[in-house]
Amino acid sequence: MPGLPPNARNSITIHILANFILLNFLQMKTRSLKIKVSSSIGSVSAEVIAPQKSKGIMILAHGAGAGMHHSFMVALSQSLAEEGITTLRFNFPFTENKKGRPDTPAVAHQTIETAILKAKKLFPKLPLFVAGKSFGGRMTSQCLAAHPNDTVKGIIFYGFPLHAPGKPSVERAGHLKDVKTPMLFLQGSRDEFADWKLIESVTASLPLAELIKIEGANHAFKAGKQDIIKLLATITNDWIEKKIKKENARK
């Protein structure tokens, strides 16, 4: 934009960028639905955010302290859609029924398995990945450790809760050795639920695991003014693209 003063050029650039972001947002399709877990457990709410063109579908399970509509969950799903990844978020039954205590592992696992089946039914041609924030990620890996699923191409952990704050331990990681699916751990360097040296040691012992440090971030992925959500989406997208490329090379 030669000939224009710097302020005018900056204004035009910002306007173009804003329109581009708005266009991407408008091209996303959001769909609310119900998923029936079982007759005894009942149904839970779910939401799909899909870009116009999608490279994969990712199940995204929430943590113990907030449901699928938490700002982190929604923002991450929208940012992933901008990268070309469809997400299916869902509530665990305890959140759906407004109970303070998280579900037992058996109920959480059954809910995750039902969400996986729903995603496969809705998007049968897309590569399937699973992910979770904190509790949601741990329940997902427990589920796949006990019930391996060849259709799942990878697990993404947004802050694996290795131990309670101030109580360093690796007991919660015991099941990870039984997971037969590639794993990506996105972990804040200041995560109160995962001492860095411990999570580094745990993942180093797992041949299928990759650990990426999010410098300065805590368990909630707060790190000053950094746009952590965008960073998480970009790293996730790069990892998923590599897995899809590797899978296609085998065919």
> Residue 220 is part of which domain span?
29-250
For residue 14, being part of any structural domain is answered with no
89, containing H or E segment: strand 85-90
Tell me which residues of the chain have a pLDDT lower than 70.
Answer: 1-27
**Number of independent structural domains in the chain:** 1
For residue 7, being part of any structural domain is answered with no
Residue range 115-162, pLDDT digits in tens: 999 999 999 999 999 999 999 999 999 999 999 999 999 999 999 999
Per-residue model confidence (pLDDT) at position 226: 86
Q: In 92-215, at which residue ranges do the beta strands (DSSP E only) sit?
A: 128-133, 152-158, 183-188, 209-214
pTM (two decimals)? 0.88
Residue range 66-75, pLDDT digits in tens: 999 999 999 9
Look up the CATH number of the domain holding residue 219. 3.40.50.1820
Could you tell me which of 83, 115, 32, 108 has the C-alpha nearest to residue 240?
83
For residue 235, being part of any structural domain is answered with yes
Sheet holding 183-188, edge to edge: 29-38, 42-50, 85-90, 56-61, 128-133, 152-158, 183-188, 209-214
Per-residue model confidence (pLDDT) at position 13: 47
